[in-house]
Chain A
Amino acid sequence: MLKMNPQLSMPAERLLDLDDVKVHLPTREGVVKAVNGVSYHVDRGEVLGIVGESGSGKSITARAIMRLLPRNAREEGGHIQFRPRTGELHDLSALGRDSRAVRQIRGQHIGMIFQEPMTALSPVHSIGDQIIRTIQLHMRLDRHAARRRAADLLSKVGMPRPEQMLDNYPHQLSGGMRQRAMIALAISCDPSLLIADEPTTALDVTTEAQILELLKHLQAELGMAIVFITHNFGVVADIADRVAVMYLGRIVETASVDDIFYAPKHPYTRALLNSIPRLGVDQGRRLPTIPGMVPDPYSVPTGCSFHPRCGYSVAGTCDVRAPEQHIFPNGQAARCHFAEQLAEADAHV
């Protein structure tokens, strides 16, 4: 599987590396640059949170990693490298959607969970059958041992009476329990990476808290890395080690979770954080808002795509040139012409 491609190389601690990934979606109204040059990496055992509003491209990027892009999507460049704990380096971007190689990786090395458990679970097979099949597909276990492992997994994700649960069908479970079953399926082969796409968005807060605790616990126990996609800043603050903020197909800021929340450098990150009502904090009668709305994807503004809504936008610069990523000494990166000046202004306050 190791390709002797000189471009393929990653530091030892690196698990996943995306370099300038571009995905275009042709539609009747025009081409949507859903992912427009996204680069990020995930180290072993870390949780990378990806936040952004709808249409920012956070889920499509994850689908490019999984090689599960919509059939009409066109990949216009970029590299996705992945090295699971077994050590071999894969060039995911070279693998086809249904190739044998990618089917080995999905399920075994990369697990995925979704907002809606029924996207991942089959309604006509019992929970047990689905997990057992996955285990047998990727691990050399006989049916009996696979069943035992499946029951262990269900108890690991906190499902009561795991032995009986194996014979239940998804529709017999509550939303929270289905979410747990889907997590059990995703981690059934000890993946190195779990991609979690809004897994708690449809859940009630008390169930959400349970699922977040479970994911943190499993992550520590199994040592897997998580790419956690969400629009909820509270959730990302709770689970992520590092955070990438996306807007209109680009990552506008990447930093440690503390820096994103206590020292955001990109105007979009700052504005978003200001517009969330926080518990126990009186922000006065009006919430600070971001003017306008996310532009439709067919007419992305020129220059910095955030400039029409940005309070710091400077005519002649922001509407003309697309900003490069500015990297601060602490590793924080912001795609803004004035990232440095804004940070300095903050320091003087």
Chain B
Amino acid sequence: MSDVNLSGADLAAAMPDDVLISVRNLKKYFPITAGWLRKEVGTVKAIDDVSLDIRKGETFGLVGESGSGKSTVARLMLRAYTLTDGSILFRRDSGEVVDISSLNERQMREMRREMQMIFQDPYSSLNPRMNLLELVGEPLVIHGVGSQSEIRDRVADLLKVVGLRPEFLLRYPHAFSGGQRQRIGIARALALNPSFIAADEAVSALDVSVAAQNINLLQDLQEQFGLTYLFITHDLGMVEHIADRIGVMYLGRLMEIANTGDLFARPLHPYTEALMASVPQPDPRGNRTRKRVPLKGEIANPANPPTGCTFHPRCPYAQERCRTDVPALREVAAGRQVRCHFAGELDLTGVAA
């Protein structure tokens, strides 16, 4: 069945037992070309030195603004992009640990039974010419799982699981609302019983009331099937609600990793503080009294990132050293990693619990 045999005892040993997926020093550089010869004139460091562990059964939230590279990380983890450098260790259902960064396309296809993705835009991610049976059943057909009637039964089951009526089997995506289409995408992702799902802005395009329904669905499914999520979003309220741990990205780098409660109670990176302060709260009195100094400027051009700490031009606490020295992501407390020279020395404000 599986010809993925790259795992060795050394790989498994490199990964603590409770970790499902371990990313080390992930890099993705895109070439910048110019002229009609498309000569390479530079590189965009879309992802630079990202390392993170996602534990079995947890929801790891990845937050950041557009251009921070959060979606690219997910795509690299599922090998939708080839990585420039780094390793991605994944613990299979069988217990075997595999470095997916070195797999070929055929081996990777086998892996995708266990790793799936849910996309933001339920309008463009579903083929309008396929009905629900074909859409949700496609992964089963590709992996040759079951006969036609078995697939039909499985798809009907999956629709029920995500809260859609099994009678909808032969309908096409256009007949469904945005929230329902998102559910179709979720059913499709669940078809092969994956252990890991990356959800890229999965509820960002939905209306408030529908987003809440789908978030609850994702949490129910996690409980029911023991799923592990990578939850990518720019919505801090949502990520606080759903995630166990959170990584904050800025310009292709992780700036901070912490347990959700710790992060919101006391951010240790100035960018995390700025993000939290920027979110307008559904609390008019609080907004009036809260000190909210908008962050200056805009995210830098990744083709020409600032020297030293990439956040320094916008950082209200920046010192001379930040302009010259690149800070490392370092562990400052148990389970807390921060990429700031002054982590722990600054008095940063979170949001009151």
Residues in chain A within 8 A of chain B (CB atoms): 53-54, 174, 176-177, 204-210, 212-213, 231-235, 237-239, 257-258, 261-262, 271-273, 275-283, 285-290, 293-294
Contact = CB atoms under 8 A, between A and B. Distances in A.
Contacts of B274: 206
Nearest to B214: A289
A238 B287 contact: yes
A28 to B, nearest CB: 13
Given A231-B208, A279-B236, A287-B212, A209 B241 contact: no
Contacts of A207: 65, 298
Contacts of A205: 65, 234, 236, 275, 278-279
Given A234-B279, A237-B283, A238-B287, A275 B208 contact: yes
B281 A237 contact: yes
A211 to B, nearest CB: 9
A277 B241 contact: yes
Contacts of A212: 280
Interface stretch (B43-51, B133-141, B345-353): B345-353
17 contacts: A174-B298, A205-B65, A209-B277, A234-B282, A237-B280, A237-B281, A238-B284, A262-B285, A271-B209, A272-B208, A275-B209, A277-B237, A277-B241, A279-B264, A279-B276, A279-B281, A287-B216
B179 interface: yes
Nearest to A243: B284
A207 to B, nearest CB: 7
Interface in B236-271: 236-238, 240-241, 264
- With a 10 A CB-CB cut-off, give which of B180, B209, B238 has the most chain A CB atoms: B209
A78 B281 CA distance: 35
Contacts of A293: 177, 179-180, 209-210
Nearest to B219: A285
B215 A287 contact: yes
A278 B283 contact: yes
A267 B213 CA distance: 18
Contacts of A283: 241
Contacts of A234: 237, 279-282
B95 interface: no
Contacts of B208: 53, 231, 233, 272, 275-276
Given A213-B294, A294-B207, A279 B280 contact: no
B351 A272 contact: no
Contact of B295 (A210, A238, A278, A281): A210
A287 B284 contact: no
Nearest to B286: A237
Contacts of A290: 209, 212
Given A237-B282, A276-B208, A283-B241, A206 B215 contact: no
Identify which of B66, B180, B212, B352 gathers the most chain A CB atoms within 10 Å of its CB: B212
Contacts of A174: 298
A30 B280 CA distance: 39
A273 B275 contact: no
A285 B223 CA distance: 11
Contact of A275 (B177, B212, B277): B212
B230 to A, nearest CB: 18
A233 B282 contact: yes
B216 A278 contact: no
Given A237-B281, A277-B238, 14 more contacts: A177-B298, A205-B275, A208-B278, A209-B278, A234-B282, A275-B209, A276-B237, A277-B241, A278-B282, A280-B264, A281-B353, A288-B212, A290-B212, A294-B207
Contacts of A258: 284-285
Nearest to A204: B65
B264 A261 contact: no
Residue of A234, A238, A294 contacting most chain B CB atoms (<10 Å):
A238
Nearest to A238: B280
Contacts of B282: 233-234, 237, 261, 273, 276, 278
Interface in B55-104: 65-66
Nearest to B205: A54
B292 interface: yes
Contacts of B350: 280
Nearest to B237: A277
Given A237-B287, A293-B179, A206 B294 contact: yes
Contact of B294 (A210, A231, A285): A210
Interface in B321-353: 350-353
A278 B212 contact: no
B157 to A, nearest CB: 23
Contacts of A210: 294-295
Contacts of B353: 280-282
A279 B240 contact: yes
Contact of A279 (B211, B298, B351): B351
Given A53-B207, A277-B237, A283-B241, A209 B212 contact: no
A29 B299 CA distance: 45
Nearest to A213: B294
Nearest to B350: A280
A204 B66 contact: yes
A281 to B, nearest CB: 7
A80 B284 CA distance: 30
Contact of A53 (B180, B209, B295, B299): B209
B303 to A, nearest CB: 14
Contacts of B351: 279-280
A295 to B, nearest CB: 10
Interface in B269-325: 274-285, 287, 292, 294-295, 298-299
Contacts of A294: 177, 207, 209
Contacts of B278: 205-206, 208-209
A221 to B, nearest CB: 17
Contact of A206 (B213, B238, B295): B295
Nearest to B282: A233
Contacts of B295: 206, 209-210
A206 B173 CA distance: 35
A266 B234 CA distance: 30
Nearest to A257: B284
A261 B179 CA distance: 26
A231 B236 contact: no
Contact of A278 (B180, B276, B281, B285): B281
B272 to A, nearest CB: 12
